[in-house]
């Protein structure tokens, strides 16, 4: 009789131990909705950046018109690229470079408008004075 009771006790102990582990597995810590939303926004921003067409290693396509003084071409870029161009230009002024690396020109209403203006400008052979640093010029 004691063997039967021992076997039953062992059986119940293992049964309750496995039940306790199952109940622990169900209680996963939940993230709060604000953190989940932030994670989703970050992922969607990264996905947008990854899928956006790249013009060069510095710029992505968009509705802002710039002139890339290094490569000597106009480009329609997105807002982060436009801000990067502005930063490069400010750094050029700060470092007193005679030729500035970039010129942020104008925000257009859409990519189509930017492309039209781009087409007009590439057929205009006027000198690109906006690449020269006239603030630090020594005449």
Structural domain contains residue 104: yes
Structural domain contains residue 92: yes
Structural domain contains residue 98: yes
| Number of compact structural domains in the chain | 1
Please give the residue range of the domain that contains residue 62: 51-131
Structural domain contains residue 87: yes
Given a cut of 80, whether residue 94 has pLDDT beyond it is yes
Of residues 53 and 137, the one with the higher pLDDT is 53
Question: Tokens 């005449």 — which residue?
Answer: 139
Given a cut of 80, whether residue 110 has pLDDT beyond it is yes
Instruction: Determine the 3-state secondary structure of 30 from DSSP.
Output: coil
Structural domain contains residue 27: no
Q: How far is CA 59 from the centre of its chain?
A: 11
Nearest to 78 by CA among 68, 89, 65: 65
Given a cut of 50, whether residue 80 has pLDDT beyond it is yes
Report the C-alpha gap between 112 and 56 in whole angstroms.
19
| Structure confidence at residue 139 as a pLDDT band (50, 70, 90) | very low
Structure tokens at 123: 């057929």
pLDDT at 90: 94
Structural domain contains residue 84: yes
Report the C-alpha gap between 82 and 75 in whole angstroms.
10
Structural domain contains residue 95: yes
pLDDT at 122: 84
Structure tokens at 116: 């039209």
């Amino acid at each position: 009789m004691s063997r039967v009771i021992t076997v039953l006790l062992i059986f119940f102990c293992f049964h309750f131990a496995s039940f306790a582990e199952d109940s622990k597995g169900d209680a996963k810590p939940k993230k709060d909705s604000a953190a989940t939303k932030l994670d989703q926004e970050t992922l969607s921003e990264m996905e947008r950046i990854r899928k956006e067409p790249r013009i060069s290693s510095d710029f992505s396509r968009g509705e802002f018109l710039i002139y890339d003084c290094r490569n000597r071409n106009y480009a329609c870029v997105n807002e982060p690229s436009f801000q990067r161009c502005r930063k490069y230009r400010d750094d050029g002024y700060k470092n007193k470079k005679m030729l500035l690396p970039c010129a942020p020109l104008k925000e257009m209403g859409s990519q189509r408008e930017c492309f039209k203006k781009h087409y007009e400008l590439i057929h205009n052979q006027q000198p690109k004075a906006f690449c020269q640093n006239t603030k630090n010029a020594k005449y």
